[in-house]
Structure 1
Amino acid sequence: MPLCMGIAIASGMPPAAGLITGIIGGLVVGFLAGSPLQVSGPAAGLAVLVFELVREHGAAALGPVILVAGAIQLIAGLCRAGVWFRMTSPAVVAGMLSGIGILIVASQAHVLMDAAPKARGLENFAALPAVLWQAISAGTGRTALFVGLATIGIILAWEKLRPQRLRFLPGALIAVVAVTATAQLQGLDVNRVDVPSNLFSAISIPSFSDIFGVFNHTLLVSAVTFAFIASAETLLSAAAVDRMHQGARTQYDRELAAQGVGNMLCGFLGALPMTGVIVRSAANVQAGAATRASTILHGSWLLVFAMLLPWLLRMTPVACLAGILVYTGVKMIKIGQVKELATYGRGTAAIYLATTFAIVATDLLTGVLIGFGLSLFRLALHSSRLKVEVREHADKKDEMHLTLQGSATFLKVPAMARTLESVPPNTALHLDVAKLHHVDHACIELLRDWSRNAASRGCELVVDWKELDRRVEGKRTVESAPLVESRKAA
């Protein structure tokens, strides 16, 4: 419940919007889910996207965008496309989560002092010293800062010291209860959460004009972005949950379709978007959950508290929820992953860092696209990796051997051309393609051109052209070698 309300505030939406999403995630998605022990609800990973969308287009645009995003997820699940959402570079996903964590910390540090966050991550960092100085010197926000820091301290202490028999109680809940009780007893002057007496009054069904208004370029891109990031986070979380227990395994397509239904319902009711959340899911498993009933009960308890005890929720200091989100954001920033990712190559670690800093410096979508672009560029470099080795024949001075190992693509044309140009006149060049996995049109044409022109220098290219043609991507007619008769390289 604290996370639901805190994420809603971080998203620029009323706390009730987060509660509605949590209820739907438990009752509806919990019943339909392909990952029975995964708990769905509003996620910190989408808070940044929601905040940007609401700031630029207003809260009225959020519902239709989430509705379309949910439809995309539902269609993808029915088309069995769940596995495709898992085909994402771990470095990009890790960088995305770290970047989101940094943005959450930067924005909620302002809320921690009862100040309004800025629009961009760098703006939040730039304005933070002034807000902090004002809280310390002028006293504006000092009490809220104390409340937020106390919340973080209690969470850290509980995570370190909690008894084994109480491991199912999250530190955030303990912190909220303790800090809220203290704030009430002491009569602290801090901003409180605004929750309506009737939760149903917070429902905001989009109008037809709002729904049809989503079909413009900007909002459609937002819907696709929501669908992709929510799906990737959900399915990666489901895979992590599977590693925590020995029960039923995740049916990824069913989980994706269930998330789609849930997000369509959230969009229709004007609530926040949802994903499968690893923090809630891990707590669910650690508490001994064995069936989907625990997830459904999660939503049921949220509904009971929101309907029967709204007055209790209104006692919660906003700074307390901000403290929870600052803690959550810091947990998402895993700089230690750089060392782990570097074991798969420095390029992998570089993609992680580039994605993280690009998200902080620009926005979430741009940062993720930069990460994907770098991943594709690195993939292209790896797929075109070619080892070119030239050696002279031990006994015959007029004979050389050229070995190609790997993939010969257009990116390697300059290197191959330099090698061929270095062949002395009156030399028979034997080409060994036994270790050549792939050759593209550009490289094979380079070899044919050199073979045609070599005669003027007294050279010839000796290669099994049929064997070489079999390594060309795609279907093509096998051509006979020009100028010289094909024969195996000696």
Structure 2
Amino acid sequence: MTEQLQQPVPRERGPGRRTRLGSTLVPDLGASLVVFLVALPLCVGVAVASGVPAELGIVTGVVGGLVVGLLPGSTMQVSGPAAGLTVLVADTVATHGAASLGLIVLGAGLLQVLLGALRLGRWFRAISPAVVQGMLAGIGLVLILGQLYPLVGRGAPGTTADKFLGLPALAPDLLGPAAALGALTVVVAVLWKRHAPERLAKVPGVLVAVVVASAAGAAFDVPRIRVGALADELTFVGEAPVTPALIGAVLTFALVASAESLFSAAAVDRMHDGPRTHYDRELVAQGVGNTLCGLVGALPMTAVIVRSAANVDAGARTKASRVLHGVWLLVFVALLPQTLAAIPLAVLAGLLVHAGWKLLALRGVLALARTDRAEAAVLVLTATLIVTTDLLTGTLVGLLAAVVKTAWDVSRLSVTVDGDRVEVRGNATFLRLPQLLDRLDAVPGDRRLRLDMAGVRHQDQACRQAVEQWAARRGDVELIGPGAG
């Protein structure tokens, strides 16, 4: 009987596989081309804005497709250089030098692999969404601020303060050809998504914006991308002195890249009905990708929501689409790198201003402010500190503020006085200790009291000791519940 059940299997399996292959290959092939066309200008723009050769951004996209795309973790999300890391990379290059970037990215990648192997990837989902939104909003603000200068054909100052102070001096350049090309890029990218003809709706707006603005820029003498030989740009990671600042940079890259990738995974999982992301495996995959990028001195990578959403919208069925997009990037950088020289820098700046505005997500900030002012305050605090200090400081302070806010929300405590009976309910923690002691001290001391704490669900050591000391000072107190011993 077993043999009879097994005999038809070989005859049915082959055609079934061919059917499944045929049903996924065409959609995946089409989706890979869409993702490639979205990824190409973004890879170049992020690299140029980060202060490294354009080719290195494409190399990171190739690794994100061919390596991370093949590894287990997520099915639909696409990895590569992200606008969210532009500010961090630019600051790192300015502080530690371009030669140290590979070592920092390598260290961050190895740390990501370790975190994934220790099964800590799922814990990134516990980070407060307000902190993540604040981090992205802060990055978006700094990105917009920095790209306003190349958008009008000027070089950006080195510090955030100088960028703010230099804004009025940009006014005379707003009527120049570079500013017109940058503005055209933003307008086309925005309007194409809203008003594109139905037959052309699948064509990425970013690609249309770059093509249209670059074609218009052919008539003007404006700064353009400098293209060199790829072999000259790739450098094997070198040695650098290990300093606290270098270690801090490694931790920052690992934290930000991991958080952005895993939050992207959560968002992409809501867009499709396929297999869900395995967060620990995805973190390992991102770490492997960053390790390889660090070894050759390329940009760091994360999973990128723009490319991932384009992949899903284009009808991708399997991870083959993201792998193939890496193949197309590799073919392009090998055969057609000189094509990049036709793109004006102002066009890429406009592309990144558009990306920065999307990271800012102003509508989401306003919606959060209407529903939860405390969460909105954490978001604003995180974003403000990122703009005024640096990414690591803003993110860590935001995380601390979120923890304090959560602890305050959890430690709800009510104190009710009814004659000679005081009833305490809720969570008695040190955050509510001043409130508790004020209410107890306000009870007249001329009668015996019954302090009922049976309704206290949790009491920390600070509250326990404070209540016991208060009862001992008062003397005539019957204590019921926690601390009664």
Question: TM-score, length-normalised on structure 2?
Answer: 0.88
Quick one: higher RCO (CA 8 Å, sep 6+), 1 or 2? Answer: 2
Whether 2:268 is the aligned partner of 1:248: answer no
Provide the residue aligned with 1:463 in structure 2.
479
Tell me if the contact between 1:147 and 1:319 (Cα under 8 Å) persists in the aligned partners.
yes
Tell me if the contact between 1:33 and 1:259 (Cα under 8 Å) persists in the aligned partners.
no
Q: Secondary structure at the match of 2:183?
A: helix
1:375 shift after superposition: 1.3
CA distance in 2, matches of 1:377, 1:424: 33
1:153 shift after superposition: 1.8
1:377 shift after superposition: 2.2
Provide the residue aligned with 2:27 in structure 1.
none
For residue 77 of structure 2, the aligned residue among 38, 44, 47 is: 38
Provide the residue aligned with 2:295 in structure 1.
268
Q: Secondary structure at the match of 2:317?
A: coil
Q: Matches of residues 102-121 of structure 1 in structure 2 within 5 Å?
A: 102-121=141-160
CA distance in 1, matches of 2:327, 2:98: 27
Q: Matches of residues 386-397 of structure 1 in structure 2 within 5 Å?
A: 386-392=413-419
Q: Matches of residues 204-219 of structure 1 in structure 2 within 5 Å?
A: 204-207=235-238, 209-210=239-240, 213=241, 215-219=242-246
- Cα distance per residue 1:369-426 (max 9 Å; x no partner): 221222122123223332111112xxxxxxx111112221233333333333333344
Provide the residue aligned with 2:449 in structure 1.
429
CA distance in 2, matches of 1:341, 1:161: 29
Whether 2:182 is the aligned partner of 1:152: answer no
1:6 shift after superposition: 0.4
Provide the residue aligned with 1:448 in structure 2.
468
Letter of the 1:168 partner, please give it: K
Q: Secondary structure at the match of 2:70?
A: helix
Letter of the 1:322 partner, please give it: A
Provide the residue aligned with 1:163 in structure 2.
197
For residue 202 of structure 1, the aligned residue among 228, 233, 251 is: 233
- Cα distance per residue 1:59-87 (max 9 Å; x no partner): 00100000000000011111111111222
Letter of the 1:239 partner, please give it: A
Letter of the 1:143 partner, please give it: P
1:454 shift after superposition: 2.9
Q: Secondary structure at the match of 1:80?
A: coil
Q: Secondary structure at the match of 1:433?
A: strand
Measured at CA, do residues 105 and 406 of structure 1 come closer, stay the same or move farther in structure 2, by a change above 3 Å? same
CA distance in 2, matches of 1:365, 1:423: 47
Count, aligned residues: 446
Whether 2:192 is the aligned partner of 1:172: answer no
Provide the residue aligned with 1:375 in structure 2.
402
Q: Matches of residues 79-158 of structure 1 in structure 2 within 5 Å?
A: 79-134=118-173, 136=175, 142-158=176-192
- Cα distance per residue 1:4-40 (max 9 Å; x no partner): 0100111111111111101100111001141111010
Letter of the 1:468 partner, please give it: P
Whether 2:286 is the aligned partner of 1:259: answer yes
Q: Matches of residues 225-244 of structure 1 in structure 2 within 5 Å?
A: 225-244=252-271
- Structure 2 residues not aligned, in runs of 5+: 1-39
More moved, 198-207 vs 258-267? 198-207
Tell me if the contact between 1:167 and 1:286 (Cα under 8 Å) persists in the aligned partners.
no
CA distance in 1, matches of 2:44, 2:266: 26
Whether 2:221 is the aligned partner of 1:189: answer yes
1:343 shift after superposition: 5.3
For residue 306 of structure 2, the aligned residue among 238, 257, 279 is: 279
Provide the residue aligned with 1:220 in structure 2.
247
CA distance in 2, matches of 1:426, 1:415: 22
Q: Could you tell me the percent identity over the aligned residues?
A: 46
Tell me if the contact between 2:378 and 2:401 (Cα under 8 Å) persists in the aligned partners.
yes
Tell me if the contact between 1:92 and 1:351 (Cα under 8 Å) persists in the aligned partners.
yes
More helix by share: 2
Letter of the 1:204 partner, please give it: T
- Cα distance per residue 1:250-307 (max 9 Å; x no partner): 1111110000000000000100000000000000100000100000111111111111
Measured at CA, do residues 151 and 418 of structure 1 come closer, stay the same or move farther in structure 2, by a change above 3 Å? closer
Tell me if the contact between 1:167 and 1:287 (Cα under 8 Å) persists in the aligned partners.
no
1:225 shift after superposition: 0.6
- Structure 1 residues not aligned, in runs of 5+: 137-141, 393-399, 470-479, 482-490
Measured at CA, do residues 42 and 431 of structure 1 come closer, stay the same or move farther in structure 2, by a change above 3 Å? same
Tell me if the contact between 2:454 and 2:482 (Cα under 8 Å) persists in the aligned partners.
no
Letter of the 1:232 partner, please give it: A
Measured at CA, do residues 313 and 415 of structure 1 come closer, stay the same or move farther in structure 2, by a change above 3 Å? closer
Tell me if the contact between 1:387 and 1:405 (Cα under 8 Å) persists in the aligned partners.
yes
More moved, 221-230 vs 158-167? 158-167
Q: Matches of residues 298-377 of structure 1 in structure 2 within 5 Å?
A: 298-342=325-369, 345-377=372-404
Tell me if the contact between 2:213 and 2:347 (Cα under 8 Å) persists in the aligned partners.
yes
Tell me if the contact between 2:290 and 2:300 (Cα under 8 Å) persists in the aligned partners.
yes
Q: Secondary structure at the match of 1:37?
A: coil
Q: Secondary structure at the match of 1:435?
A: strand
Letter of the 1:160 partner, please give it: R
CA distance in 2, matches of 1:256, 1:85: 10
- Cα distance per residue 1:441-476 (max 9 Å; x no partner): 222223322333334xxxx22233xx414xxxxxxx
* Structure exhibiting the larger radius of gyration computed from Cα positions: 1
Q: Secondary structure at the match of 1:276?
A: strand
Measured at CA, do residues 331 and 450 of structure 1 come closer, stay the same or move farther in structure 2, by a change above 3 Å? closer
Provide the residue aligned with 2:108 in structure 1.
69
Letter of the 2:266 partner, please give it: A
Letter of the 1:49 partner, please give it: L
Provide the residue aligned with 1:54 in structure 2.
93
Tell me if the contact between 1:85 and 1:228 (Cα under 8 Å) persists in the aligned partners.
no
1:122 shift after superposition: 3.4
Provide the residue aligned with 1:487 in structure 2.
none
Question: TM-score, length-normalised on structure 1?
Answer: 0.87
